[in-house]
Structure 1
Amino acid sequence: MLCEGNRKIVYQFIDQYAKEFGVRWLLRRFQLSPHAYYNYRKQRKSNYLKQKEVILTCIKEIYHRYGGKMGYRMIQRRLTHEGHLCSQVTVYKYMKELGLRSIVFKRKPPYVKGKKHRVFPNVLAREFTAEYPNQRWCIDFTYLHLASGQLHYNCSILDLNNRRIVATRTASYITADLAIETLQMALHKCSPKKGLVLHSDQGVQFTSKSFTEFCSKNGIIQSMSASGCPFEEKSEKSTLKS
């Protein structure tokens, strides 16, 4: 029945039982030319390599499309969704061959409540505007997830008059030192008059002794959102992002 069937089925039968009976014996049994059989093997390998190249290209495209965040499981599901059927083991092997690994981002560190040296009243009273430049500034921290998976911190100061970032600084630490360094940049760049209002949340960096003393020394009036008031904190952060 195999001799009368599809030639491809016969070749597949030979591949399956080659070790048990030997390729030459099976070819003689089915009266097949060795040349024809090895051409089939060559063509099958060529088709496999072509299909593999397509999958490799798709894996690279999906990986970079999502910023390297996807692992082999998610990429395999995405490939299936796009019509390329292959197992998770195959995708894992191909990603290893391409040198691709999903980027694991560090989670935002848990909030550690520090001791507040001094807390200031809310001078702005939710009025995030100013009549002229360098009258009112707003300062805040932002968490930055780098492509390498590291977590850095950005401190920026925004002028509430023209919504211009007057100073910004990024570092691997989130301390009062980073806030002071950023404020120093802003003061050096803009040279505001004494009485400048600097608004922030009640983060330990802004209520620390070193930061409050630095502000006092430079004639800066600190203003702070009320603790536990999410509306004010949300308004402040959206102002910095605008």
Structure 2
Amino acid sequence: MPQTAEEVGPSRDGERNPKQSNSHIRSASKLKLIEKQVKRYPIQVLSRTLGIARSRIYRHLEGKVSSRRKASDRLEQAIRQVYLRSNKIYGAPKIYAALIRQGIETSLKRVQRHMKALGIRSIIRKRYRPCCRKQQMSVCHHPNILKQDFNTPTVNQVWCVDITYIYTLQEGWTYLASVLELHSRKVIGWSYSRVMNTALVLKAIKNACNAVRNTLGIVLHTDQGSQYMSTEFERYLKTRGLVHSASRKGCPYDNACMESFHASLKKEEVYMKQYRNYEEAQLHLFKYIEGWYNTRRLHSSLGYQTPDDVYQNG
């Protein structure tokens, strides 16, 4: 025989049983109470005790389930859209941040739960690049001004420069030089070439300088590659009032922010595709840097803002 609400008595968490509440609650309140108690008491017991027809209880509960299901479906659709727009790059924290920016109220745990149900996750694999800290410093007449301190109070105080390799099927290795504005993590200048030389990095720096009204006193941090140690390179820096800072030989930690950008570029774009030629690679690099990274990609280190957001407010 099923127990009645009177036999069950008070619930474990101290709530009054349904019959004790019946004398002073209205119909809507009764239905809300049924929602809470339906897992504890049979429908027929709740119906008899609260004086509400079972058919009405069933209709109410079905409506609630349907409403929750629709809300979950809408959230899952929004999650999937953000995930696909990020080229399957974003994990739960960035998807959650993107939803909040869209005005969708949710929680990180809920996003994680729905992503698990949908079977989606970030495709990014993090790589660790070792650095021998015991390696001797090479002789260099440029000081390491940053000394791994990458914090700046405002924009255009420090720029970091580096070159990375891009493979194409027809031309083989090609080269991308990037200039990263340290405060906003924005790629403020870049250039792409079939040849890795001083002209490659000078073009990237000139593009960055053309975007800034006054470059006097900006620290330009590089590694000790031959492209950055040439007389031509030094001459141009002096004409723009740029102060040259250099990493220790063979230690990527000294230019970690630049390394981080190129790692993101490789994992989120280059490793996902196979470029047929130089022109195709150039188009995709432009789309990634200008159409995604600078303007749409959320950065956890920037409080889930884009580089453009921070640069404009810098």
TM-score, normalised on structure 2?
0.37
User: Who wins on radius of gyration, i.e. which is larger?
Assistant: 1
TM-score, normalised on structure 1?
0.48
